[in-house]
């Protein structure tokens, strides 16, 4: 996996998802999906009813999670908008794992 990551590079992206995304296990499902894809980062509820966080990992995998955040989410969620910002290539992962922050 390390060799693959060197070829395609690592990406870091911040995200914020709006809609019915709190109280629907959105963070838990996001963490599960990120781990399944081998990504690191974090997810957190905000005080204004959105969920935000950061994703880091191989570019193609990050794109998969972005798509998931845009369209799928947790079973009970209703996503109205997913915004991505601060996208940049990184040389090393800045997180050990994918965490749910309180």
Using the predicted structure, report yes or no on whether residue 5 has a pLDDT greater than 50: no
List domains and CATH numbers for the chain.
10-100 (3.30.70.100)
Active-site annotation holds for 45: yes
SS (H, E, C) 25-76: CHHHHHHHHHHHHCCEEEEEECCCCCEEEEEEEEHHHHHHHHHHHHHCCCCC
pTM for the whole structure: 0.91
**Which of these is catalytic: 36, 45, 52, 81?**
45
Output the pLDDT for position 61: 97
pLDDT > 70 fraction of the chain, expressed in percent and rounded = 92
The mean pLDDT value for 1-12 works out to 68
């Amino acid at each position: 996996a390390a060799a693959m990551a060197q070829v395609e590079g690592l990406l870091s992206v911040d995200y914020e998802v709006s809609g019915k995304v709190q109280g629907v296990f959105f963070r838990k499902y996001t963490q599960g999906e990120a781990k399944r894809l081998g990504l690191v980062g974090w997810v957190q509820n905000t005080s204004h009813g959105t969920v935000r966080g950061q994703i880091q990992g191989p570019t193609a995998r990050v794109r998969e999670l972005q798509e998931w955040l845009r369209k799928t989410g947790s079973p009970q969620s209703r996503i109205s908008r997913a915004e991505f910002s601060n996208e940049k290539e990184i040389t090393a992962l800045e997180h050990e794992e994918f965490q749910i922050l309180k």
